[in-house]
Amino acid sequence: MDKLIKAARKTQIKDIAIAGGVSANSGLKTALTKQAAKDNWKVHIPKLGYSLDNAAMIAMTGYFKFLKGDFVNQGVSAQARGNSQLIVVKDHLEMEIIGQTIDDAAGEAFDKCAKLMDIPYPGGPVIDKYAQ
């Protein structure tokens, strides 16, 4: 919370969103809501049913949409928590999993996706460069 508060105050951001599994943390939601009242922030927290890693993907999509003033058609993101997925975001509700692993690091998911695209090992850095 300390880093969030400092960053929001420094940048004068007034809209705060949390997503992913962390958004299911009731203590964090309570603390964030109280801080929002003090600093006049608008807080965006997904419903509990959406508090999964897919919510983080949706948040990432919204972030890039905000930065460009429009929707990013070809966003690529990796989710890392033991199990990893490489997902192409085509539209805010249209995503395609192009690679995934079970109990592997995100870098390994990149390498496995690269293998499927005939990119030589280690393909992770090449996939990452395309994602940039």
Per-residue model confidence as pLDDT tens digits over 89-125 = 777 677 777 766 665 556 666 777 778 788 887 777 7
Phi, psi dihedral angles at 109 (to 5 degrees): -65, -40
Residue 115 structure tokens: 């293998």
Average pLDDT for consecutive 10-residue bins of the chain (132 residues)?
A: 83 79 72 92 76 62 72 47 63 72 62 79 75 67
Burial class (CB in 10 A: 0-12, 13-18, 19+), 110: buried
How much is the pLDDT for 36? 93
How much is the pLDDT for 54? 59
How much is the pLDDT for 24? 62
64-90 burial code (b ≥16 CB/10 A, e <16): eeeeeeeebeebbbbbeeeebbbbbbe
Instruction: For residue 110, give the nearest of 89, 131, 82 by alpha carbon.
Output: 131
Threshold 0.75, pTM exceeds: no
How much is the pLDDT for 112? 75
How much is the pLDDT for 80? 45
How much is the pLDDT for 39? 94
